[in-house]
Structure 1
Amino acid sequence: MSRLKDIFAQKEKKVLNVYCTAGFPGVNSTLPVMEALQENGADIIELGMPYSDPLADGEVIQNSSTIALEGGMTLSRLFEQLKEMRSRIRVPVVLMGYMNPVLQYGFERFCADAAAAGVDGLILPDLPPFEFETSYKAIVDQYGLDFIFLVTPETPETRVRKLDALSSGFLYAVSSSSTTGNAKDFTAVEQYLERLQGYQLKNPVLVGFGIKDKETFSRACKYANGAIIGSAYIKALEGKTDVTAATHEFIKNVLN
């Protein structure tokens, strides 16, 4: 059983997935931040691969990517940092990023290095499902990685079912068609998640974009298996030298 399947088997509700940017707040912060997340209650870590043009990300995550890139973070450096990851990190780890740097690195080489490091899954929002199915799925499967697609409130049911069929690990339900970090009308979000729940999909559903505190986390979990927090956590790390204390304080305020 994969680590992602295992976490959803153990915990059907209120699964907390926290996004952090590799190389933020400092280029050598990647593993310390991941350890702090694990030790303070994150069930899944979504590790962002910094990119200069992150289409789905709002200003906060874009800024963290810029800081990481200026600090010297690259995919090669990231995989070097992750070599010792599984001696310290037990929870599932999903890499999130964009196709341009992955293709420059080499898609198969990227999957091989991710699998060797103990990464569990990939989120590449700008990889269309047709290209994934015809050109990349076989490679992802070969290296035993889960692949997670995103759906939005505007995604038709037929496409939701197609993306669910192509996904493994979980399905990422974007709370609205906007970038990360923006305020959301949670009544509309709940209606959308209730509709997804009614589809009885194959994969667990985690909702992301606009989840930032105890209230939004609880409401997001009402009709989903859990939620993803990104921008709010990145904000909590900004300017902090003690990532462990900042992480403890942030997650305590989400879960307690």
Structure 2
Amino acid sequence: MSRIKQVFEKKQQRVLNVYCTAGFPELNSTVEVMESLQENGADLIELGMPYSDPLADGPVIQASSSVALANGMTIAVLFEQLKAMRPRIKVPVILMGYMNPVLQYGFERFCSDAAAVGVDGLILPDLPEYEFEMEYGPIIRKYGLDFIFLVTPETSTDRVRKLDQLSAGFLYAVSSSSTTGTDKQMEDVSQYLNRLKAMQLSNPILVGFGIKDKASFDAACAHANGAIIGSAFIKALEGGGATRDKVKTFLNQVLS
């Protein structure tokens, strides 16, 4: 059983996945941020690989990616930083990014290196279902990595079931067809989340996009197994002050 699945076996509800951008706010702050997230209650860590042309990222995460790239973050640098991650980081770590830089790095080399440093899963929003089935899925599974697909309120029932079948770890339920950081009222998406819940899917469901504080986290958890916080956390890391203090303050507010 993968580390991600173990999280949901142990804690079936109120699972918190926090997104952070590798190399932000400083090039070498990646593991410090991850350790702080673990210490203060994050169940999963979604580590964003900065890319100059992201498709699903809102302005806050785009800006953090620009800073990280300017800091010198690359996939190679990230894997070097993560070499010492285990056993310091006990929680599952998921790499989130886009296909272009991964293909430039070499897809099988990427999966091999990710597994070697202890990464548990991948989120690649622009990897199409067909290409996953025909080419990339077998490579991902070869290295024991979970792969998480995204669904939206517009995803048909048949497609949701198909993506659930192909996913491992959990299913990422995007709260709306927009970019990250959108101010979305959870009441507006409760019908969509209840539809997913009623389908009795194989994978647990985490809600992302627009989760920013205790109220939105609680609302998401009422309809799913947990939620993903990204843009609001990146905002919390901006500005002065000690990184560990900023992480602790933010997560205390969400989980209190």
TM-score range, shorter chain: over 0.9
Equivalent residue number for residue 176 of structure 2? 176
Moved over 6 A (4+): none
TM superposition score normalised by structure 2:
0.99
Q: Which runs of 5+ in 1 are unaligned?
A: none
What amino acid maps onto 2:235 in structure 1? K
Counterpart CA distance in 2 for 1:217 and 1:133 is 33
Counterpart CA distance in 2 for 1:98 and 1:31 is 21
| Contact 1:206–1:226 (Cα < 8 Å) also in 2 | yes
Note the C-alpha offset of 1:45. Answer: 0.1
How big is each residue's C-alpha offset from its partner over 1:91-128, in whole Å with a ceiling of 9 and x where there is no partner?
00000000000000000000000000000000000000
Note the C-alpha offset of 1:241. Answer: 4.1
Pairwise CA RMSD: 0.6
Equivalent residue number for residue 235 of structure 1? 235
Equivalent residue number for residue 200 of structure 1? 200
Matched, 1:119 2:112: no
Counterpart CA distance in 2 for 1:86 and 1:191 is 40
Number of residue pairs the alignment of both structures matches: 256
Counterpart CA distance in 2 for 1:33 and 1:101 is 23
Note the C-alpha offset of 1:240. Answer: 3.3
Equivalent residue number for residue 35 of structure 1? 35
Equivalent residue number for residue 142 of structure 2? 142
What amino acid maps onto 1:216 in structure 2? S
What amino acid maps onto 2:83 in structure 1? K
Equivalent residue number for residue 25 of structure 2? 25
Counterpart CA distance in 2 for 1:22 and 1:96 is 10
SS in 1 for 2:254: helix
SS in 1 for 2:207: strand
Equivalent residue number for residue 9 of structure 1? 9
Equivalent residue number for residue 185 of structure 1? 185
TM superposition score normalised by structure 1:
0.99
Equivalent residue number for residue 128 of structure 2? 128
Identity %: 70
SS in 2 for 1:79: helix
| Contact 1:181–1:232 (Cα < 8 Å) also in 2 | yes
Equivalent residue number for residue 45 of structure 2? 45
